[in-house]
């Protein structure tokens, strides 16, 4: 993907993130890796419906701005650290979707009460609280994802979702919110029945090959 096509995607998906209820206002951010070094990332503090492709800055995987007049998202460290350290990740979506953020505020992982949890892993774990935009937040987010999770919650903050492509990362973000909502609603009715470990392992293996062959 070229820098220009990545800028276009970030601009479009910012609008979709807002339309799909994954965030409010200017909260959250999206990044797409364009090659081994460059990353297109949402600009800081701009309304999503005002972001045009030329507003999307380009940084390198060490967080240095390469091009663009706009400041990159204050969360650039979290994005670039993940994109630098996780070779399987090509895009990151950070959002403040309400049901998942509720579990983040409880410092409670979303457990496997629905099979679509496998988009993220065997659960959706919680990274401990750190102030937004800091190197410390980037560190705990990367540590919580490890090598096995595609998503995590950020305590008292929101959601972090990853994928090999930006389409996959966005789908993970949607599935995190869906699973969080189902888990919340099930707990308000009774005690959810959690999927056993062996079934989770089966699902993780199936989801690894999910979708169309290219």
Q: Please identify every residue annotated as catalytic.
A: 75
Tokens found for residue 170 = 């966005």
Strand partners, 59: 39, 65
Rounded Cα distance between 52 and 195, Å, is 43
With contact defined as beta carbons under 8 Å apart, do 170 and 93 qualify? yes
| H or E segment and range at residue 15 | helix 3-19
| Per-position DSSP letters for 116-176, written without gaps between them | GGGGT-SSB-EEPP--TTSHHHHHHHHHHHTTT-SEEEETTTEEEEEESSHHHHHHHHHHH
Residue pointed to by tokens 């930006």: 166
For 61-68, the CB contacts below 8 A with 24+ separation are 61/33, 61/36, 61/37, 66/38, 67/3, 68/43
With contact defined as beta carbons under 8 Å apart, do 55 and 128 qualify? no
């Amino acid at each position: 993907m070229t820098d220009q096509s990545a800028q276009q995607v970030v601009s479009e998906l910012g609008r979709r993130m807002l339309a799909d209820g994954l965030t409010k206002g200017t909260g959250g951010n999206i990044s797409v890796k364009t090659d081994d070094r460059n990353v297109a990332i949402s600009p800081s503090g701009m309304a999503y419906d005002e972001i045009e492709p030329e507003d999307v800055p380009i940084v390198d995987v060490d967080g240095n701005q390469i091009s663009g007049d706009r400041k990159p998202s204050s969360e650039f460290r979290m994005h670039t650290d993940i994109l630098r350290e996780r070779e399987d990740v090509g895009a990151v979506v950070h959002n403040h979707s309400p049901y998942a953020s509720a579990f983040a505020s409880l410092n409670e992982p979303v457990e496997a009460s629905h099979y679509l949890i496998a988009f993220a892993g065997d659960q959706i774990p919680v990274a401990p609280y750190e102030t937004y935009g800091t190197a410390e937040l980037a560190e705990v987010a990367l540590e919580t994802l490890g090598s096995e999770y595609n998503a995590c919650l950020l305590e008292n903050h929101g959601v972090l979702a990853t994928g090999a492509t930006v389409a996959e990362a966005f789908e993970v973000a949607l599935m995190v919110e869906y699973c969080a909502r189902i888990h919340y609603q099930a707990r308000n009715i009774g005690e959810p029945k959690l999927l056993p470990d062996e079934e989770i392992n089966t699902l993780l293996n199936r989801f690894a090959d999910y979708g169309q062959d290219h």
